[in-house]
Structure 1
């Protein structure tokens, strides 16, 4: 890596046309952050004046053919890095920051200090209006994430990989703050609820999850830590802590960076910095470390049960939440905290939209006396806490009525939280499935992105589970009924839409064709055919995902081959990603089989092979085809991705996510018993196995109730 002769007298003599490049002396840094690029790339340059008074050069590098796609990333990078200097009260310490788009790069990006490397689709945006809003947001958030690492991870580095969350959790949280500064009209902070919080809640509800701080002794164990626990759960507990601490949270972050710059740090040292500002001048009943250790050193999170008496006295109790009910014989790893949490509890009421805060510190019941005029209380105000909330049945009935009559009485985030909590708790067997089904009837009046995304997650989940049951036709008809009003509202007209309205349109129209809405299907297929036949030159970038996917789903070999040719000839990496995802929607089995085999060919970059396989597995017509393909090609997949790819575990979870029968479970277990060394995917196998058991449980306990409810 650093060849040299330890001989002071040796002089440099460059001959035969060789070139010597001399680098500035590096700052003190960890070796995993060192990188260099040898290329014929071109760069787009800018600069800003650092808070230190020094001029900092910022450059975005790419293949010459993609040079025109580098402007947006450069604008975001300059805006975000100069903002972070002020936000962290710590100057960027290097004279330059390069961002480099790599044509074939398995991971999304890597935060090498001063030379961040990106997958092309994570950095490039077409400037002439062919990039979608989602592509722009992807680039902005990934750029903001990697730039956050220049402080969290680079300036201060975790002492060992069990502290990975100090890097990734922080960057995953701060990316929202940075991209929100760069693009204030995107409502990035609102999106946190459905992107990070609910993702963390899903994985961490499994017994096979792991604590944020988890030991790792070999490369496979280390790679396995790059998951939703380190990223999304890490970001969520930081957001929860900031909401509870207020302004002193940021002061603690600044103190942490000042103390440990150019050194390594442990999680406990972060809490020490927080305590020194949070408890300064106060008598703290519980230190930040005492509170947060219960969130970082044990698996899972709490389910709070709120019971309300006739005198408006609330009783709050906690227990660990399992999305898959466990048996008494199941092994549950012991916890030094006995699966109790010190909970930053917040709530709003019918009388006060201002969140009230209370620290729940022990497992025994806690009480809250509400004023007699209060008609309802919603816990976890704004969905800022990493916990779920169950209520007594009269309170759930009250929420159902409130949403149907005046759903804007609470925020979009709170409505999204109610939907997600109700379905999750019902799936765990602690609430009748009729409650969330009744709760979502109000969606015919809902116009906001967050609640719809929460609802669609469960609509798709139930669709997967019910797809091979006799009741699916009635279920599909029910979903179409929920979608009809919002489809009429979003329309196909993109003019003047806000950022979140653009996302909502794409999500709703996608659901429309998937659940058989005739008008949506006809419009999308007509647009695809006009484009394919040349009578229409282009499709609006924010409609491409819908039109491409529906065109393939309701087309045949001719449509599939046309989009495949578009994929092969385009130089736009975002367009390539769109094509790859859309091609997986064919309903013709042999086309899907051919597509899986194409994924191993030179026509598909190695970085995208697993993406193709996961996409096909998400198609009901491709489930068994993909499962057979993966088993037949396990050796190749394991060799390519099993040791160094963070995506390998995701593949294992995705291909089995719709398995819901005892036979499928036995096949899955038998295969992995024969191939026990899954490398970095070993933990993912255990999580996938548990999720399959959860699917089986759901059908056994809910199918008849859902059938009865739909038939009323």
Structure 2
């Protein structure tokens, strides 16, 4: 699954600290997107479709019966499904609901004798069949099938349960038939509806989002990733609409069913695949297409969007990215088509359904007038992310969700390689350091973090599965795989990757299988590494966190220690590695790259790292390693000297690293906060994007901690002085803002839209807000609507912010997909922060129920509304919030609540220890 999106917090701090003029420069440079990993909603209450009898549902407490366990037994193995679905795109006049009806036949093999059939089903109502049961069973091959003794729906574990009066025979095949009705709800999960206005007419799309556990909301199925099967899909749909699915269209004809003239579209059978990758869509969208080496590529979207050319960029870049991955994997694209569709309502950034990838409109559609460079880059990287999954994830699929990190981490790494192929002049591969490595460090430095790989038995319930879709799985996964590829070399890495994909094609695997194939490549090439791939990588995969590597250039001793943002926090999670890692260290000495070293134990002496005089050492070149670096005071002083006199002697990525490491080492009390602040003094000479983004992102923490205190004024003055030369540079480069620079990271127009909108609304009142709201509601371009939605949270009027918060509960005002991010936007506003926190506390039960505790966006919501917390009073409120809502629950935001408490405690300590020193330093820097 691809990435969601929200405006970088760096934009917010820049807006207030550096003023409107200097802000333009920061925005002009801001081409990197922040990531929100959004997931499905699966918490809407079940409803009766109105056309079938509602079967009994058990609500008894869990027992030790098979149907009370969340994992399927191994007794039945699906082979193929025949599924026919008929979504109604108009409301049922009796119930007021949108519904779909369906019929399904699944052919399965009995692997172990059993008198029980369990098949996943959630929120489906069944038409009773023979003997008043919810399904019928037939046997293939002349053996009579046992009769169904009893049938019911097990709500908690989401099963259709069939008890038989005899046993199914081992190695025999059976058919299970069902007729069912479901609600085509607006809950963004399973088979759901998306609505939009076109020419004053409301239109409805029937679409899907199955990952991770919502295929069972569309039809009864063995809904686990290892239960791969072939799917024969047929869609019944209104005349004039277009039906899409994973497979190619086989045939389509007009038919009359139950007195309705409709269209029947039959699709070619899929490859053997997992249920979570299924997709079927009915719409009246238009498309553009191209064919590359026999593969049909189509981009679908609302007709006006296609007519305006908004799909052209995606179409032009999909082919080159697809060909890149064919070469990278040494494997032809395994399907005859690659459809991509932009949906008005979609909770994630995108979803890698095999052959039919779904996207938010903002993740696929590009308009050169309204879209910023950040938007364009996001489209390229998300397309690359999803296409990478066509092999890694779809062709070879994880066995169980505890290995999700490998699937999403891999795609999150190679998306930069694919985007680089599409846009080689952007140098986008470097930006993984800001977007993923530095981003996830903030989470993984908490004692409440978690390892990449979980135990299979610990990941059972749908909510537990959804909770894995977090920054650790995506961004840490990407970071450690990038590190692995670097120390093995890309040649060896891809060699092992290719044999892995070849062996497990159309099947399932785990991360240890990849380690085995990479080890085979290491052995075949004679690559020199200090331990096996498995031994090295398990230290990064099986324990949470990461080390800070300290280099003492006086003694040559390098050492490692578990890096914790709050050194006083208690780590209760045990580790078989005692929080030590096998660390690859790339380094340089005074502008010369040295031979890489390895740190396998707590410390080691490396004589080459001793320096004298003006020589200096810089470790973790280009931040290919997943760790922070600290130095002895002497080396820090020499590095600061290089920054002030000849900063280009240090690679640009490492200039961003020095700032980021220093600020976080200071928060962890490893170095002084004043030393961290000194890393920003050279910025008046810096013209590159990455160091500036790193600095602004880290100073965002100061903004959050001090924007309500006397520190804020002197800090603002200091940063204005630092950014003025950069502003002047761009004024000159653009000939007084007349010309647009050619460099991807130098762009200005139209990247200023968000800034202009935000500042105008902040400076205005109700009239300006209402104007922007009307522009938002009438926006036909999704990216423009997103910019306006963000800007509406910039107002300084509390009553407008409160009203805006109320709008998030009404999907007619704010789409459900945007509700939680809108609340976070409001919380990012210093005036709106307390309003948003009060709102979330008061409405938590409703928000949780309506917008899905299984949604990944819930962790972003919890973190977003509490990020500024830094007082004892706020800490007690947060603890009370956790206690008050224990019964309601927090779903995928459960871990985020604990992380917010831990972060607030650390913030309180940090302010008490640093406020005066920070104030004194900024004041001292004001003096001429």
Where does residue 691 of structure 1 map in the other structure? 903
CA–CA distance in 1 between the matches of 2:595 and 2:856? Answer: 40
How do 1:74-89 and structure 2 match up within 5 A?
74-89=315-330
TM superposition shift of 1:214: 1.5
- Tell which deviates more after alignment, 197-206 or 555-564: 555-564
- Matched residue, 1:288: 533
Q: 2:603 aligns with which of 364, 373, 378?
A: 364
**Distance in 2 separating the partners of 1:97 and 1:24:** 14
* 1:94 match: 335
Q: Equivalent residue for 2:288? A: 44
For residue 274 of structure 1, what is the aligned residue in structure 2?
A: 518
> Residues 417-456 of structure 1: matches in 2 within 5 Å?
417-456=657-696
Match for 1:651 among 849, 852, 861?
A: 861
| Correspondence for 1:662 among 864, 872, 875 | 872
1:4 CA drift (Å): 4.3
Alignment of 1:159-558 (within 5 A): 159-215=399-455, 216-246=459-489, 247-280=491-524, 282=526, 285-309=530-554, 313-327=555-569, 330-352=570-592, 354=593, 356-370=595-609, 375-491=615-731, 493=737, 495-502=739-746, 540-558=749-767
Partner of 2:218: none
Question: Following the alignment from structure 1 to structure 2, what is the Cα–Cα distance between the partners of residues 385 and 663?
Answer: 39
Conserved 8 A contact 1:502-1:542: no
Distance 1:401 1:109, change over 3 A: same
Give the structure 1 partner of residue 778 of structure 2: 569
Could you give the per-residue CA deviations for residues 57-92 of structure 1, whole angstroms, max 9, x where no partner exists? 011111112113111111111121111101110110
Distance 1:614 1:284, change over 3 A: closer
Do the aligned residues in 2 keep the contact of 1:642 with 1:678 (CA within 8 Å)?
A: no
Which of these residues, 113, 124, 132, is aligned with residue 365 of structure 2? 124
Change (3 A) 1:342 1:22: same
- 1:326 Cα shift? 2.1
Q: Indicate conservation of the 8 Å contact 1:586/1:592, yes or no.
A: yes
1:229 Cα deviation (Å)?
Answer: 0.5
Name the structure where helix makes up a greater proportion of residues: 1
Secondary structure, counterpart of 2:334 in structure 1: coil
For residues 102 and 179 of structure 1, do their structure 2 counterparts lie closer, same or farther at Cα, with a shift above 3 Å needed? same
Match of 2:238 in 1: none
* Cα deviation code 1:537-558 (max 9, x no counterpart): xxx4221111111111112222
Report the Cα distance in structure 2 between the residues aligned to 1:494 and 1:273, rounded to whole angstroms.
55
Cα deviation for residue 293 of structure 1 reads 0.4
> Once the 2 structures are TM-superposed, how far is the Cα of residue 570 of structure 1 from its aligned partner?
1.1
Q: Relative to total residues, which structure has the larger strand share, 1 or 2? A: 2
Q: Choose the corresponding residue for 1:60, options 285, 299, 302.
A: 299
Q: Which has the higher contact order (CA 8 A, sep 6+)?
A: 2
Pairwise CA distance, 1:296 = 0.5
Structure 1 range deviating more: 689-698 or 298-307: 689-698
SS in 2 for 1:458: helix
Partner secondary structure for residue 333 of structure 1: coil
1:619-638 residue pairs with structure 2 within 5 A? 619-638=829-848
Aligned to 2:890: 678
Compute the displacement of 1:496 (Å). Answer: 3.8
TM-score scaled by length of structure 2: 0.70
Instruction: Name stretches of at least 5 consecutive residues in structure 1 with no aligned partner.
Output: 50-54, 506-539
Q: For structure 1, which segment, 554-563 or 420-429, has the greater mean C-alpha deviation from structure 2 after superposition?
A: 554-563
Report the secondary structure of 1:319's partner residue. Answer: strand
Q: Single out whichever of 414-423 and 183-192 deviates more from structure 2.
A: 183-192
Q: Could you tell me how far 1:500 is from its partner in structure 2?
A: 3.9
> 1:219 touches 1:643 (CA, 8 Å); kept in 2?
no
Q: Deviations over 1:195-226 (max 9, x none)?
A: 11101211100111110002311111111111
Output the aligned Cα RMSD: 2.0
Change (3 A) 1:499 1:568: farther
For 1:7 and 1:39, the matched residues in 2 are separated by 38
Deviation of 1:281 after TM superposition, in Å, equals 5.2
How far apart, in 2, do the equivalents of 1:622 and 1:418 lie? Answer: 33
Shift, 1:436, TM fit:
1.1
Number of residue pairs matched by the alignment? 664
| SS class of match (1:169) | helix
The question of whether the paired residues in 2 share the 8 Å contact of 1:399 and 1:439 is answered with no
Hey, what's the Cα distance between the residues in 1 that align with 2:393 and 2:885?
Answer: 35
* Stretch moving more, 486-495 or 457-466: 486-495
Q: CA deviation at 1:18?
A: 4.3
Deviations 1:416-452 (A, max 9, x none): 0000000000001111111111121001111000000
Q: Alpha carbons of 1:480 and 1:281: their partners in 2 closer, same or farther (altered >3 Å)?
A: closer
Q: Deviations over 1:653-697 (max 9, x none)?
A: 110000000110000110111102111110111111111112112
d(CA) in 2 for partners of 1:575, 1:20: 37
User: Which of the numbers 803, 808, 813 marks the counterpart of 1:594?
Assistant: 803
Deviations 1:341-364 (A, max 9, x none): 000111011151x35311211113
Structure 1 residues 4 and 706 mapped into 2: Cα distance closer, same or farther (>3 Å)? closer
1:248-296: CA deviation from partner (whole Å, max 9, x where unpaired):
1111111211111111111111010100011225375411111000000
C-alpha displacement of 1:494? 6.7
Larger radius of gyration: 2
Cα–Cα, structure 1 residues 351 and 572, in superposed 2: closer, same or farther, change >3 Å? closer
Retained in 1: the 8 A contact 2:553–2:617? no
Decide whether aligned partners of structure 1 residues 162 and 472 sit closer, same or farther in structure 2, where only a CA change above 3 A counts: same
List gaps (5 residues or longer) in structure 2: 1-82, 85-102, 106-137, 141-174, 178-252
1:111 is matched with which residue?
352
Deviations 1:30-52 (A, max 9, x none): 11111111111111111111xxx
Deviations 1:450-483 (A, max 9, x none): 0000000111210110112222211111111111
Q: Which residue matches 2:73? A: none
SS at 1:69 equivalent:
coil
Deviation at 1:130?
2.6
**What residue is the counterpart of 2:111 in the other structure?**
none
Distance 1:339 1:286 in 2: 17
Report deviation, 1:26: 1.3
Deviation at 1:640, TM superposition (A): 2.1
Deviation at 1:97, TM superposition (A): 0.8
- In structure 1, how many angstroms separate the alpha carbons of the residues matched to 2:836 and 2:818? 15
SS of 2:603's partner is coil
Partner SS, residue 59 of structure 1: strand
Q: What CA deviation, in whole Å up to 9, does each residue of 1:163-205 have, x standing for no partner?
A: 0012100110111000111011111111111111101211100
Report if the CA contact (8 A) 2:311-2:364 is conserved.
Answer: yes
